[in-house]
């Protein structure tokens, strides 16, 4: 299918198009399902480092059940353009309230008055949660994947400086991956890792999947450094390593890559 990503492997029932004037964006969306006036809408919001393309296998299945299915590349991702994404730029447009406005503007452009269900994965999860929290009259149902809703911000002391210090004091010293992602060097590290971007992403998605045998989900006892340190290295990293080097240590073998049917090389290139 020819899309804003280029020639990509995708179900014939899914199409790619661009919608201009979406809260200052030219927004790229993937779409499945024909829309008569009363057809319910399902909205799918991807996480990081992902795209609307991440929903490619779910979209035709959902559309076949009678839904109009929309998956946008959110602000700052994929083929969506607009906004100031410079590290030293004005990042106010990336606040959750602005991301909700992006979705509202997209709905207006699509002439949808309401959403049967908004589904968010990873970073898309808080966006979906805030859509439902701020506009329950529009969003009839919400589903959150991989990231539970932490609730509205609460006033009080910022816990991160103490968490950072406690993790750094461990042996070996550690750091939380979300703090790493806010660092100036993170973008260049992941784009320019020694293994190359494709191999980095292959390793990153592999180690977070069921294919990696060392994933053993469990409940955390607390947010104390000692308990956080039990998480895999892709969540609580070595203090002296970036994510590219971290993922390299968990990369799949050539045989594992060959067996990976859920992310082919053609799909990974997207």
Look at the block and give the residue holding tokens 């996480």: 47
pLDDT of residue 175: 98
Fold annotation for 2-145: Rossmann fold (3.40.50)
Does the pTM surpass 0.85? The reply is: yes
- The distance of Cα 93 from the centroid of its chain, to the nearest Å, equals 17
pLDDT of residue 125: 97
pLDDT of residue 193: 93
Range(s) within the chain of domains with CATH label 3.40.50.1820 = 2-145
**C-alpha–C-alpha distance, residues 234 and 49, integer Å:** 13
**C-alpha–C-alpha distance, residues 117 and 143, integer Å:** 7
Coarse DSSP helix, strand, coil percentages of the chain, rounded to the nearest 5 percent: 35, 20, 50
pLDDT of residue 54: 95
Tens digits of pLDDT across the chain (270 residues): 556 676 777 777 899 999 999 999 999 999 999 777 778 999 999 999 999 999 999 999 999 999 999 999 999 999 999 988 888 988 899 999 999 999 999 999 999 999 999 999 999 999 999 999 999 999 999 999 999 898 887 888 888 999 999 999 999 999 999 999 999 999 999 999 999 999 999 999 999 999 999 998 888 899 999 999 999 999 999 999 999 999 999 999 999 999 999 999 989 998
């Amino acid at each position: 299918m020819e899309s804003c990503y280029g020639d990509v492997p995708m179900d014939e029932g899914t199409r790619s198009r661009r919608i201009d004037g979406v809260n200052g964006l030219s927004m790229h969306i993937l779409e499945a399902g024909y829309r008569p006036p009363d057809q319910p809408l399902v909205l799918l919001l991807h996480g990081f480092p992902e795209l609307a393309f991440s929903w490619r296998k779910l979209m035709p299945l959902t559309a076949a059940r009678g839904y109009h299915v929309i998956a946008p590349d959110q602000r700052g991702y994929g083929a969506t353009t607009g906004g100031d994404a410079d590290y030293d730029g004005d990042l106010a447009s990336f606040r959750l309230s602005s991301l909700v406005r992006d979705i509202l503007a997209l709905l207006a452009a699509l002439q949808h008055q309401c959403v049967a269900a908004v589904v968010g994965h990873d970073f898309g999860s808080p966006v979906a949660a805030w859509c439902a929290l701020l506009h329950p009259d529009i969003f009839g149902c919400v589903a959150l994947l991989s990231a539970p809703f932490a609730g509205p911000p609460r006033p009080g002391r910022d816990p991160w400086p103490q968490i950072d210090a406690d993790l750094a004091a461990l042996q070996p010293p550690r750091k939380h991956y979300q703090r790493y992602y806010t660092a100036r060097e993170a973008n260049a590290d992941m784009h320019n890792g020694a293994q190359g971007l494709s191999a980095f992403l292959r390793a990153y998605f592999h180690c977070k999947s069921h294919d990696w045998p060392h994933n053993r989900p469990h409940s955390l006892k607390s947010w104390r450094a000692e308990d956080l340190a039990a998480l895999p290295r892709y969540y609580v990293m070595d203090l002296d390593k970036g994510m590219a080097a971290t993922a390299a240590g968990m990369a799949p073998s050539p045989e594992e890559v060959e067996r990976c049917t859920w992310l082919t090389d053609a799909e990974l290139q997207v």
